[in-house]
Amino acid sequence: MKRIKQILLYVVLFLAISFAVDAWRGRHLPSGPIAPLTVTTLSEGTVDVLQLSHEQPVVLYFWGTWCPICELVSPSINWLAEDYSVFSIAIRSGDDTQLTQYLTTNNYQFETVNDSTGMLAQRWQIVATPTVTIIANGEIVSYTTGASTPVGLWLRLQWARLMH
């Protein structure tokens, strides 16, 4: 019984620290309604993120090919992209050819926008990579920075679906 209490205490502490770190890293992130956002992906598709978020929750994944934590999170994003609207924003990750090669090499299927200058990330006030933002009904309902688990990301999406 004592062992179970210790494990529960560690889980609660871990969650509290994770939420505190997210809050600190995300203190500059926009909240509430988003401004109109139309992006063009590497596959040449144009997406109106604001409009799409009124149909279903949208995941915006800000990351970089140079980011070691992103290497851990990207497989989870790829998994989510099988069933949900996911758009990744690759920050300062080379030209379109380099980025496409990276995505192909890693077998990532998520739609990707090349933010080669970092202007889109700057507009969204992204200060940590990776940053995962979930938008529903035109509003940011969740964000997380740094390492995230597949289950944690999936639960955030379920919450957004409930809010939708």
**Confidence at residue 111, expressed as pLDDT on a 0 to 100 scale:** 95
Structure tokens at 111: 């739609």
Mean pLDDT on 55-83 = 95
Question: DSSP string spanning 96-147?
Answer: HHHHHHHHHHTT--SEEEEETTSHHHHHTT--SSSEEEEEETTEEEEEEES-
pLDDT tens for each residue of 95-140: 999 999 999 999 999 999 999 999 999 999 898 899 999 999 999 9
**Confidence at residue 27, expressed as pLDDT on a 0 to 100 scale:** 53
Whole-prediction pTM value?
A: 0.81
Q: Which CATH architecture has domain 29-163?
A: 3-Layer(aba) Sandwich (3.40)
Confidence band of 28 (pLDDT split at 50, 70, 90): low
**Confidence at residue 98, expressed as pLDDT on a 0 to 100 scale:** 96
Structure tokens at 93: 């990750």
Domain spans of the chain?
29-163
Q: Tokens 């995941």 label which residue? A: 59
CA distance 119 to 161: 29
What is the H or E stretch that residue 38 is in?
A: strand 38-40
Q: Which of 5-9, 45-49, 62-66, 124-128 has the lowest mean pLDDT?
A: 5-9
Structure tokens at 89: 């924003």
